[in-house]
Amino acid sequence: MDITRFADARPYTAPKHHDMRGLRLQGFDASASRFAWTGLSHFLPGGGAEMDSSPLEKIYVILDGAVTITLGDGSVTCLERYDSCFIPGGEAREIRNDGNAVATMLVVMPYPEARA
């Protein structure tokens, strides 16, 4: 079993994100997980991620605060505490924290390439 204590979680930088602080909880250099990695994203007020897509599926779980997710087709959804969403690979999305409190989101994604 690989345990990552919150106090020991290492920061990571996510491309095309702003005013966001990410912590790696599992996978990559945090554990031996081969099927997916898990991160914790703290979006500061006004923070977010640019409209972008990737071939990878994503699961977002809001643990605190709220974020607005805008999809490439223009649909907009506000996710609040304990709401979650699945975004298929190839679907464009934008993330925004329009509130005045930090929004905390758990992120679960497969690796860009299979790990041996």
pLDDT tens digits, one per residue of 67-85: 999 999 999 999 999 999 9
pLDDT at 25 over 70: yes
Phi, psi of 68 (to 5 degrees): -105, 125
CA distances to 2, 49, 79, 97 from 44, rounded to whole Å, are 29, 11, 15, 7
pLDDT tens digits, one per residue of 32-73: 999 999 999 999 999 999 999 999 999 999 999 999 999 999
Local structure of 7: helix, strand or coil: helix
Is the pTM for the entire model greater than 0.75? yes
CB 85 within 8 A of CB 79: yes
pLDDT at 116 over 80: no
Give the chain's domains with CATH numbers.
9-109 (2.60.120.10)
Burial track 30-60 (b if 16+ CB lie within 10 A, e otherwise)? bbeeeebbbbbbbbeeebbbeeeeeeeebeb
